[in-house]
Amino acid sequence: MRFDVSCTALSSRLQSISKVIASKNSLPILDNFLFSLEGNTLTITAADSETRLTTTVQVMNVQGSGVFTLSAKNMLDPLKELPEQPITFDINDSNLDIYIYFQNGKYNFIGTRGDAYPQQRPLSSNAVTLNLDAKILLGGINRSLFATADDELRPVMNGIFFDIQTDSLTFVASDGRKLVRLRNDSVKSPERASFILPKKPANLLKTLLVKEEGNVQIRFDENSAHLACESFEMVCRLIEGRYPNYNGVIPQENPYKATVDRLSFLTALKRVSVFSQASSLVKLQLKSDEITIFGQDIDFSIAAEEHIPCSFDGPETTIGFNAVYLIEILSNISSADVILELADRTRAGVIVPSENEENEDLLTLLMPMMLND
């Protein structure tokens, strides 16, 4: 086999899919990229035991076709240091001795046969298909991923729940202390369905979808999902199990509402939280025209308080929250103002944007922390 390819194009494709490769693989061949040459298209695959990423790059001056694998590390490190130029792959089909020629030199590798690389499992005949804009998928993952859990006892909480209705798609994530529910009414489906996307493929998509403009097709059955768009394809194993009834934990009657400038609230929390790093507890005292944020660390005899204006329609109230979680929630809301909906200091607080983006309904929930006073 022999072909020419742009060094920059090849390197960027390899970099984009290399993040799926685990640091320790049970199968040594999964430390490699799988290359498949057919006509003028070079298909490149990287995988671990659960997730598989595939991309393509156009090549020139092709002689022959075939399949082989090469060490991911040995390919990535030298190629990313080369300036843009055409490079030539020359592969000996009998012993897979591989030379890569470039302007000022050459690299020599020993490849392995590609037939030992794990094959992709086909989806079952009852697989469900969902088409949506890449930006919608990226936005849903971006704003919910932080709320997923790391819980070995409840693996269903360790991913993003896709709740597909005929007239909407809802992204849900929760670790039992915080919850995000983002509904998009522009996504339509012929049938109701759902799946739980694990954290690793969600993180990969968060990086890959940034450059995507078109649609993403998601096909999934009870075990796996296949996501395809213009630049790449992903196959991943889904988390099996039943996701909890997330609507059942969202308070329906939180009568007291505080409207506050999101950025002022966020920056004040970041400053005050420095003084309560041991417990992460911040106390909010809400009055009709202001919120006072308190933080302290008794062991180091430090404390802080800040006042920010707000509009609050309830009686004077105090409630404690984990500052880290509250900062994460506010950082993942884009509106200028947020509304904090409360009942009392023992019930979950609901935080929503004052204005949702088009076709969206975003709701976040945060459980309170106990106050000593």
Interval 24-45: pLDDT, tens: 888 899 999 999 999 999 999 9
* Angle at alpha carbon of residue 174, lines to 149 and 336, rounded to 5°: 120
Q: Tell me the pLDDT of the chain averaged across its residues.
A: 95
And the tokens for 262?
């999101």
Mean pLDDT of 110-119: 91
3-class state of residue 308 by DSSP: strand
Interval 297-331: pLDDT, tens: 988 899 999 999 999 999 999 999 999 999 999 99
Counting every residue, how long is the chain? Answer: 373
Contacts of 288 (CB under 8 A, 6+ apart): 311, 312, 313
Q: Please, which pLDDT band fits residue 106 given cuts at 50, 70 and 90?
A: very high
And the tokens for 112?
């392995």
Contacts of 261 (CB under 8 A, 6+ apart): 308, 309, 336, 337
- Euclidean distance between CA atoms 296 and 85, whole angstroms: 58
Interval 351-365: pLDDT, tens: 999 999 999 999 999
Q: In one letter, which amino acid is 102?
A: F
CA 82, distance to chain mean position in Å, is 30
Interval 241-272: pLDDT, tens: 999 999 999 998 899 999 999 999 999 999 99
pLDDT at position 131 is 95
- Please measure the distance between the N-terminal and C-terminal CA atoms of the chain and give it in whole angstroms: 75
pLDDT at position 365 is 97
pLDDT at position 298 is 85
Interval 333-346: pLDDT, tens: 999 999 999 999 99
pLDDT at position 338 is 98
Three-class SS string for 36-52?
A: EEECCEEEEEEECCCEE
Quick one: which H or E segment has residue 54?
strand 51-58
